[in-house]
Structure 1
Amino acid sequence: MPQLLPFFFLNQLSFSFLVLAVLLYVFSKYILPLFTVTQVARMYILKLGSKS
């Protein structure tokens, strides 16, 4: 049925945008701040170690 082909692509496109938005939110809210905290802690430990 070729009439359903545009609906399939529209469904796939909207689902991919939804997944992209959810991934962007999860990464910016939960995952990326953990990397920042890890880097700050690593730099602090290196600065403490270099003074002694």
Structure 2
Amino acid sequence: MLEKINVQKVVDFWNESAQRNFETAEFLFKGEKYADCLFFCHLAIEKILKGLVVKETKT
């Protein structure tokens, strides 16, 4: 049997993970590691969007 997911927990997971990735991007930017910074910015945006999808679709 499938277990019902806690939507807010999943949204929080994606948002917290995105925040950590953005903090890493800031660190890399300050170190002039721009290509790596861009990757972590992309990763953070992707995770924010995943959180929004979960929030809106409740799945």
- Alignment TM-score, normalising by the size of structure 1: 0.49
* Relative contact order, higher structure (CA 8 A, sep 6+): 2
- Structure index of larger Rg: 1
Richer in helix (by share): 1
Q: TM-score, normalised by structure 2?
A: 0.44
